[in-house]
Structure 1
Amino acid sequence: MQGPFRVVRPSDMLVLDISLVNLRFDGHRLVRTNPAAPTLVVVTLPPQHVLEQAFEQLPATGTVSAVTAGASTLSFSVPATLEDLELSLDSLLDWSRLVPMTVPVGSTKPDTTGTALFQGLPRSVIEFPTRLLITYDEPVDWVGRTAPQQVGGRTALWHARLHGTQEGDVLLRAFAAVGDRGDLPAGSPLAAEDLADIVTLTSRNEQVVPGGLPADIPSAPLRSEQFIVTPLGSSAHLHGAWPPLPASRGLEAYDHITGLGRDQYVRVVRHGRLSTGHEASHVKEFRRVFAAHPSDGIVAFLRREDRIIVKQPEVEYGQTGYTHQGREMPFRTLRITDRATPPIRPPEPVSQEVDGPTRPLKDFTAFWVVLQNTDVDHEFTLIGTDCEGRKVSFTMPLVFVPDGLPDPDGNFTAVYQEPDQHNGVPDRHTRELHGQTMAMAQPPTEAPGSTAHAVETLTFGLGTMDGHAHPEVGLPYVSAGMVRVPAVEQFLPKAEALAVTFDPTYLQQSMDSHPAGAYLRLTNPLPLTLGAEKAGGLASPRAALQVITSQAGVVPDLFAAADSAADARNLVKAAFGGARLLGLIDLSEVVSGIVKDDLGQLRNLGDDQIDAILKDSNRMLPVPVLRIRDLADGQGKELRYVWKTRLPGPASVLAADDPTRFFVPSDAGTGATLTLDARTTRTKDAVDNATVSGELTGFALNFGDIRVDIADLRFRTGPGKKPDVTASGLAVSFDHDLEFINSLRSALPSDVIGPGAYVDVRPAGIVAGYRLALPSIALGILTLTNLTLSAELTIPFDSSPVSFRFSVSEQQHPFDVTVSLFGGGGYFSMLVDVDKGLSEVEGSLEFGGSAAIDVGVAAGGVTIMAGVLFKIAGSGSAQLSGYLRFNGFLSVLGIVTVSVDFYVQLGYRKDGKQSVIFGSGNLTVSVRIAFFSKSVSIPFERTFSGSPADPSFALCMPREPHWRAYCEAYAR
């Protein structure tokens, strides 16, 4: 090779180097040195491109980073028929007579680094754009003037145009990217991965995908409608379009326009998908813009604009790829109405190490679509179609994921879960639906619309990627939401949306596997209380509502009912803890355990089925059921709360100090039954009318020594009315120490709560009782008169305990008793409640006799009366008092009269551990003789305090030797 020879022609700024291969000068012209060897003319051009930094807006300073391309080489073969090749510039620049040499397909590296030698011969290698090496992909011609061109007194810049041998664009092939000259400028139009992917798509070389297998990648060359080389750089129009392939990281279009080596327009389009699965393209556009700079005057800089183009407006979601067969995704389709976004912020550069000679990737990453020069997400407008065909619209920021994104460290997952706050919204995954109605699950065929809710928000997540056609994106699903539940809102002080998630049983086994068709679950169980003032004091229903079903509305979470009784009771306790019966009894302690057979009644539960269950004494509704329906006239809605359950309350399994032991079923075999049916109607003018009816049957209240059996207790409340309460089958019996009262009770009718009974509904509660005046009772020589019996049961509306009072006559109306010449009277009453047990006992008895004698000259008489009063309060205080009164007189002929009056009172009082005995009395003696009388009165009083505490049995009975003797005595 001879040369290179530097050629400089100032008139048209021509600068180039020329080398000759197998040519020599014979004094007249250039001739071949070896006729059999290849003969070449090699031209080396100065850099043809400058790659400079781009900006989203006018840069603050005039300094711009840039790198230039290396020299380009044009290699021409001299045809054998060409023999008049002169050693002149005009002859060597006449390339139309020469044959351009191309780089062989499959060659990616020169024989010697830094040269254009391939397979021993110089080839045509053009570095355009910077760091990209291209050559011809078809036969071409170069057309240019050999001498300077004069036009109007001006000389045109030297240039040569590349021309195809066929009509149309010139086809070019990129065979390699230069990777050993440092990094490209930050923000340059072409990143390292762009250049590498252009080589992949145009080189026609066999590519190897990860895993070592060759990839069938169709090659499509770059097309150039204009390619002109000059001493100042190329003026070119390049265009490339390819099908998106993961091996090329989704590069699908590349356009490049330059003028004299400076970029005027660059467009790079990468295919990918949005985080919802929609096909989209990321478009990078760079344009040369002229603007006034504050310090540098008029400047021309490259302005960058990125956009996302939606290529697939609608995506369908089915079962494939989802962990739960798509049940976690309530939308069947999602349509994006945006065709293109406004300018967006470029993705943040990332650092990623790549093995081998490939340069580290800088800009290839998943990214949130954020508006240009802001931190505000672009919110795509989506229209979702649910499983029943309803359409709802909402906006949502999305992540763009380019095809072929390597994800060894969860790049997309990390970006999708990025916690940064944008546009004042801390959670990009939670979207507002503003109360639009949609189905959260596929409803049963027989109950269309039963899974529809007014939805306030939905929270989206990233689903499993297994089996999905595009695993780099995954599948969207709904992880949580805020929905309106009308049946529950009626019981809330303020109507608001409730946080829900999908029910685990629904996700794992479908709705059909759940007894009531559950599909949603309240994140926070909702304590629902129907106050005792509405339930007539009979019960204060309470339930922890948590599961939303298509068959039974909103119910407690009892559907994981275990087979063991202990587990079932624990579930009941969690669901109904705090629900009160008769003001005290925790319903969770006495309600029967829920079994799976009971839950089957909730399937296909309509109003007719509910009414049938209420009428059938053998069927139950094991959990409260909430239903809402439109009124028949269409002028409002009705909310219904229904519950019918067994209350076995087996006293035998309860501890002796358990407050629920007093509630027992009348029939231990079937147990008591509690029925509640509450209805609230709301008209269109927001007027609410509530009615509550209920029934408690077959139960007894055991107060220890007193038992009250009630066959049926019913109530009904309505707007503006006092509760209507009726009771039947009430019977009172006494045991143990009070069994003697049964002899008096035998005078009562067998059904006390009948004619003459009373039920009084007061603001504080319900009082049910009976008062009976008995006729005189003769028991041998004993006669009882003025005797009355009364029994009174009080059921408070608040949390006060149920109480029962029984009395024989009253203090203000005592009974009378006579035995022959002796007589007296008294009363007795006792009060018990389920909280303190025996709360108060009070009674009194007086008895005495009198006699008189008159023998003419003398007359006299004597009266003796004795009485006792006792009172015991539940606080531990006791009081006992008695008296004795003796009165006598003697009169002789009416002249001398002597009278004696003796009165003594004894009392015992105990406060806590302190006991006191006290006594007082008075003795009065009167004497009257004719007109003279004299009385003498002698009062007296004594008090005796006992020890702070009575001696214990252990103190009275030492272990040795008395305890052994005591035990042996009783053993005999």
Structure 2
Amino acid sequence: MVRPADMLVVDISLVNLRFDGRRLVPRDPGGPAFVLAGLPPQHVVEQAVLAGSTPPPGPVKAIICGPTTLAFSLPADVDGLELSLEALLDWERLVPLTVPVGLQNPDAPGSTFFQGVPRSVIEFPARLLITYDEPVDWLSRPEPHESDGRTALWHARLHGTQDGDVLLRAFAAVGDRGPLLVDGPLTAGNLDDLVTLTSRAELVVPGDGPIDVPSAPLHVEQFMVTPLGASVHLHGVWEAPHEDDKTRYLMAGRPFPELEAYDHIAGLGRDQYVRVVTRGRLTTGHRASHVREFRRVFVARPNDGIVAYLQQEDRIIVKQPEVQYGQGTGFTFAGREMPFGSLRITDRTTPLIQPPSTTQRDETDPRKPLRDRDAFWVRLLGTGADHQFTLIGTDCEGRTVSFQMPLVFVPDGLVDPEPQLAALFAEVPGRMTCQLGGQVMAMAQPPADAPGSTSHAVSTLTFGLGSIARNAGEQDRHVVGRPYVRAATVHVPAVEEFLPNAGDVQVKFNGTYLQQTMEKHPAGAYLQLENPIPLALGTEQAGGVASPKTVLKLITAQAGVVPDLYKTDAAGAVVGALDVKDIREAFGGAKLLGTIPLDKFLPAIPDDQLGALRQLGDEQIEAILRAPDGLLPAPVLRVRDLVDGQGKELRYVWKTKLGERPDPGAGESLLPVIMDNAMLTLDARTVRSQDAVDKSMVQGKLTDFALDFADIARVHISELTFTAGAGKKPDITASGLELTFVNDLEFINTLRSALPADVFGAGAYVDVTAHDIRAGYKFALPALEIGVFRLANVSLTAELVIPFEGDDGVSFRFSVSEREHPFNVTVSLLGGGGYFSMLVGTRGVLQIEGAIEFGGAAALNIGVARGGVSIMAGIRFTLRKGENGEPDTVSLSGYLHCSGFLCVLGIVTVSVEFYLELTYEKHGHQSVVRGKGTLTVSVRIAFFSKSVTLELERSFSGAPGDPTFAECVPLEPYWREYCEAYAPQPHG
């Protein structure tokens, strides 16, 4: 039926009614009769525009809903109806029919018949099918109504029988017409929640019974149907369902409802105001709501006049300002990973934020809308920057600090948020690092007798989310409501006391503390440095005998910062001391006598001394230093206040027994040290006054050790001590030194009878500079004359150099005379001389230099003529080790020098000089042989002289890339074949 006067459009269907010529009567008097009124679509879903944005040019996207069917039955006391439009539209006399509770699907697709009976099915909003939840009436004017020359639009108003709000319930959502608009007010998840929360249908889990659903109908202040669409004002509020029932909802075939409130105002089918509130939590565990509001606004647009469109505004409202943490709240390590006992959010509501659909998209298809019920970062509308929630944290000592942090909103309907949260937290590194600006807070519960000992000035806190993995290889689980501190940047006074310029350091919780509490850790550690700080004392500041290094790693409540000397299992429990390999890594880089790796000689720490190291007092330390067999197997760091309160004393004490020289590894040269029950003792004290002036006193002692230089010379020292104080020159003493030549140079030991008993005693020298220690001797032997034999100008030199720094290493030099001052030997007419010098160090032989010269001379004078002749021959040898990658240099030279002269009456003089030299030089793989000869003849007559020189030089070079025999004949398989080729063949 179409009535232009009031724009009525309605389809009337009659069930079990017939016209008897006068009126409509039941066809089957014993059965019910029904009147069905089909109305045009009552709602249009429109695309919304974000607040602050302009609507797109042209029309916006929209989806119209399906038609609405109102079903009525004839009352029992009515036996018929007049056949007129007015009688068929007089719905107040008829009985409205509703869909029974529990029924969702009609008898046939698209039908409004349920169990053979027509029912009232209203589609509002689009894709949501609703019906009455209690008896209602429809009030309308069957005939057009005119007033002041105008005709009112036909409409029918829904009225409750109790003169109150009409109650409606949604019994189904239409899902076979394609997806909803991405930017529409309601999502598919919202429609499903409306059905779950209002249908009053019982949800039953197979084998587990029904679910207690917080069901409540929609309250309608106005519901009016018209040919142009419905004018509606409805709202609904629901309690939160039990979170423990999430999986049970899925087993019952329904998603877990997250809808908290819903308001809808529409006029003639177009939305005027829609408010959708969904429950959720922020990742810190605070209950919060995501509020989406849609308002129709009117703006003037060029060429289009006044346009009206829906504008979307999103906010997060914090419903639970404060959340408590700690033991019993689900943390992996009883809340020790979370230093705050509670977090309070001061924001009650956020500014406008980006809606989830514009926050992130499906990576596989950017055009695809965001899946329903996804977690999202709370970002500000317009800028896209994270909204920084202001939080106030209360630590275990009741101290409060404030900071700002971005958070993720996790809707309650998300059953398994862990994968999404893992992806969200991995988007931007450092996103969860919060600035605290040096506020002081306790990072752990301090011991009862040391309040405040775990408090630090914190610069940054980096939060994680969920459960920390207990064992290696496990993955952290992202669980809402379990924030923990993954890392922090803090001010550690104990670190600054050793390293004044260390500044803030990055720390994380110690694994043993997390697993087993602070008391279970032998050192009482609760934090550890992310990047362990090496603590090194220069050799000139640490006894001269060593440049000790340790690694500051553990932060303890009572012992300050200490090295990590403990080995833990996969669960974080301390199972013993570090083994030798770990000790070497922990103290790697420590040097003995300048450059010798100290870690190569360190023994393992006995397990029974683990706990004792942190319990030692000053008196106990002194007793260990005095005892001959007392040991401090690892460096002990102590800080104490001075008695006058004017500063602090920092003490570094170490007394350890060193092992024997280990076998060298691949590509490693032999260490030039032999340790036989050697003991290293270091005691360094630094007094730091309030005026920032440091005064240091250092004592070092190394006993019973030997230096072995390339298996050529060995220096054994019974005791080497070093004492240095503020404003004083270092005092070095060495005793029990013995020099011995071995192997090929053992013959030099025969000269020991000429050396003093203690070469570092009287007559020796010890020079200490800012760079090294030089100790040694140098003296000349008196000339020895026996008949025609004479030995003169012999000097012996020995020098030991211990550098404080650099890569030169310990070196030892021994020489017999020098190149500039060779020794002389004469026997009658024959004579000669020479010198020898050897320099060895940690890299082996560094330089060997020597020469020997011999020959004879004769002279003749017979008055009228005189003359002389001399013949000398010699050999020189030089070996120098290359530095900085340069090749080694070897030089061997032999020479013959002949000369003679004859002078007659002083008038004529003739002289002849002949020199012949042959030299072999090798620079790495490059070898050269040079030969040089020179003949010079000079004649002088009275005042006239003439000299003629003839020279000849030849050199022969080998190719720099000439392969060696080993390169030409590899070990496998050619060397075996090469040997077998020369092996005797068996007979027969």
Shorter-chain TM-score range = 0.7 to 0.9
In structure 2, the residue matched to 1:737 is 747
Deviation at 1:189, TM superposition (A): 0.7
Would the aligned equivalents of 2:168 and 2:219 in 1 still touch at CA under 8 Å? yes
Q: How does 1:483-522 map to 2 (within 5 A)?
A: 483-488=490-495, 495-522=502-529
Shift of 1:273: 1.7
What is residue 851 of structure 2 aligned with on the other side? 879
User: Mind listing any 5+ residue stretches in structure 2 that lack a counterpart?
Assistant: 247-254, 363-367, 785-790, 840-846, 879-889, 923-988
The equivalent position to 2:596 in structure 1, one of 557, 570, 585, is 585
Match of 2:768 in 1: 761
Q: Which residue number in structure 2 is paired with residue 222 of structure 1?
A: 218
* Secondary structure at the counterpart of residue 410 of structure 1: helix
Match of 1:231 among 227, 230, 237: 227
CA contact (8 A) 1:348 1:363 kept: no
Q: For 1:702, which of 704, 707, 717 is the aligned residue?
A: 707
Residue of structure 2 equivalent to 1:61: 57
- The CA deviation at 1:611 is 5.5
* Cα displacement string for residues 648-701 of structure 1 (whole angstroms, at most 9, x for unaligned residues): 3x2586799987755445xx3x42223142426263x6x342515131132334
Partner residue of 1:163?
A: 159
Partner residue in 2 for 1:674:
681
Out of 8, 18, 21, the residue aligned to residue 3 of structure 2 is: 8
Structure 1 residue aligned with 2:355 = 346
Q: What residue in structure 2 maps to residue 856 of structure 1?
A: none
Aligned length: 863
Partner of residue 949, structure 2: none
Q: Which letter maps to 2:40?
A: P
Corresponding residue for residue 271 of structure 2: 263
Question: What does residue 538 of structure 2 align with?
Answer: 531
Matched, 1:693 2:698: yes
Report deviation, 1:173: 1.2
Q: Which amino acid aligns with 2:292?
A: K
Counterparts of 1:403 and 1:202 in 2: how far apart (Å)? 18
Partner of 2:170: 174
CA distance in 2 between counterparts of 1:657 and 1:33 reads 110
Greater CA drift, 941-950 or 550-559: 941-950
* Partner in structure 2 of residue 910 of structure 1: 877
The structural deviation recorded for 1:628 is 5.4
Aligned to 1:195: 191
Q: CA RMSD in A?
A: 4.9
| Of 655, 670, 682, the match for 1:644 | 655
**Separation in 2, partners of 1:657, 1:748:** 39
Q: Does 1:476 align with 2:471?
A: no
Native 8 Å contact 1:286 1:304 kept in 2? yes
Rate the CA distance shift 1:18–1:612 in 2: closer, same or farther, 3 A: farther
Of 364, 376, 385, which aligns to 2:394? 385
Cα distance between partner residues in 2 of 1:364 and 1:333? 28
2:31 is aligned with what amino acid? A
CA separation of 1:62 and 1:614: change in aligned 2, threshold 3 A: farther
Q: 1:701 to 1:159 in 2, by over 3 A?
A: same
Output the amino acid matched with 1:725.
Answer: D
SS of structure 1 residue aligned to 2:486: strand
Q: Does 1:254 align with 2:262?
A: yes
Question: Unmatched 5+ residue regions in structure 1?
Answer: 1-5, 353-358, 420-425, 778-783, 808-827, 831-839, 849-862, 891-895, 927-932, 951-972
Structure 1 residues 213 and 946, CA gap change in structure 2 (3 angstroms): farther
Partners in 1 of 2:220 and 2:376 — Cα distance? 32
Whole-Å separation in 2 of the counterparts to 1:724 and 1:539: 14
Q: CA deviation at 1:313?
A: 2.2
- One-letter code of the match for 1:602? L
Write the letter of the residue equivalent to 1:45. L
Which residue of structure 2 lines up, in the alignment, with residue 286 of structure 1?
294
Structure 1 distance, partners of 2:370, 2:778, is 97
d(CA) in 2 for partners of 1:565, 1:363: 53
Cα 1:872/1:130, change in 2 over 3 Å: closer
Alignment partner of 1:336 is 2:348:
no
Structure-2 change in CA distance of 1:934 and 1:48 (3 Å)? closer
SS at match of 2:611: helix
Contact 2:182–2:369, Cα closer than 8 Å, also in 1: no
Q: Offset at 1:574?
A: 2.2
Partner of 1:399: 408
Q: Is the 8 A contact 1:401 1:472 kept in 2?
A: no
2:787: which partner in 1?
none
Match of 1:301 among 301, 309, 331: 309
Question: Deviation of residue 55 (structure 1)?
Answer: 1.2
| Cα deviation, residue 221, structure 1 | 0.9
- How many angstroms apart in 2 are the aligned matches of 1:565 and 1:42? 86
- CA pair 268-258 structure 1, distance change in 2 beyond 3 A: same
Does the aligned pair in 2 maintain the 1:518–1:547 contact within 8 Å? yes
Range with bigger deviation, 63-72 or 40-49: 40-49
SS at match of 1:217: coil
Partners of 2:616 and 2:558 lie apart in 1 by 6
Residues 534, 717 of structure 1: 8 Å contact kept = no
- Residue 135 of structure 1 and its aligned partner are, at CA, apart by 1.3
Amino acid in the other structure paired with 1:272? G
CA drift at 1:43: 2.9
Matched residue of 2:272: which SS? strand
Mapped to 1, the partners of 2:183 and 2:33 lie a distance apart of 44
CA contact (8 A) 1:551 1:605 kept: no
Partner of 1:780: none
* SS of alignment partner, residue 72 of structure 2: strand
Deviation for aligned residue 1:765:
2.5
Secondary structure class of the residue paired with 1:601: helix
**SS at structure 2 position matched to 1:348:** helix
Alignment of 1:368-383 (within 5 A): 368-383=377-392
Work out whether residues 899 and 914 of structure 2, in 8 Å CA contact, stay in contact via their aligned partners in 1: no
CA–CA separation in structure 1 for the residues paired with 2:552 and 2:624? 21
Corresponding position: 1:44 with 2:38 = yes
User: d(CA) in 1 for partners of 2:161 and 2:576?
Assistant: 92
Tell me the distance in 2 between the aligned counterparts of 1:265 and 1:663. 88
1:433 matches 2:445 = no
Give the Cα separation in 2 of the matches to 1:85 and 1:872.
137
* Structure-2 separation of matches of 1:308 and 1:31: 59
Deviations 1:468-514 (A, max 9, x none): 9x987474333344444455457779645444444444455554554
Call closer, same or farther: CA 1:395–1:656 in 2, change over 3 Å. closer
Which residue matches 2:614? Answer: 603
The alpha-carbon deviation at position 174 of structure 1 amounts to 0.9
How far apart are 1:203 and its partner, in Å? 0.8
- Rounded to whole Å, the distance in 2 between the matches of 1:946 and 1:362 is 91
Residue range with higher mean Cα deviation, 471-480 or 766-775: 766-775
Q: Is the 8 A contact 1:878 1:909 kept in 2?
A: yes
- Judged with a 3 Å threshold, the aligned counterparts in structure 2 of structure 1 residues 700 and 390 are, in CA distance, closer, same or farther, namely same
Between 1:272-281 and 1:484-493, the stretch displaced more is: 484-493
Question: Quick one: which amino acid aligns to residue 175 of structure 2?
Answer: G
TM value normalised by structure 1: 0.76
Shift of 1:391: 3.3
State the distance in 1 between where 2:801 and 2:849 align. Answer: 24
Question: Matched residue of 1:61: which SS?
Answer: coil
Distance in 2 separating the partners of 1:341 and 1:262: 29
Cα distance 1:58–1:652, how it changes in 2: closer, same or farther (>3 A)? Answer: closer
Structure 2 residue aligned with 1:274: 282
What is the deviation of 1:286?
0.8
Indicate the residue corresponding to 2:322 in structure 1. Answer: 314
Q: Which amino acid aligns with 1:699?
A: D
Aligned to 1:105: 101
CA contact (8 A) 1:865 1:886 kept: no
What is residue 858 of structure 1 aligned with on the other side?
none
Q: Deviations over 1:201-245 (max 9, x none)?
A: 111112356999753323211111222233332222211111233
1:413 corresponds to which of 422, 427, 430: 422
Letter in 2 for 1:8: R
Deviation at 1:903, TM superposition (A): 8.7
Whole-angstrom distance in 2 between the partners of 1:471 and 1:899: 110
Which residue identity lines up with residue 724 of structure 1 in the other structure?
P
Letter in 1 for 2:56: A
Tell me how far apart the structure 1 counterparts of residues 113 and 290 of structure 2 sit (CA, whole Å).
38
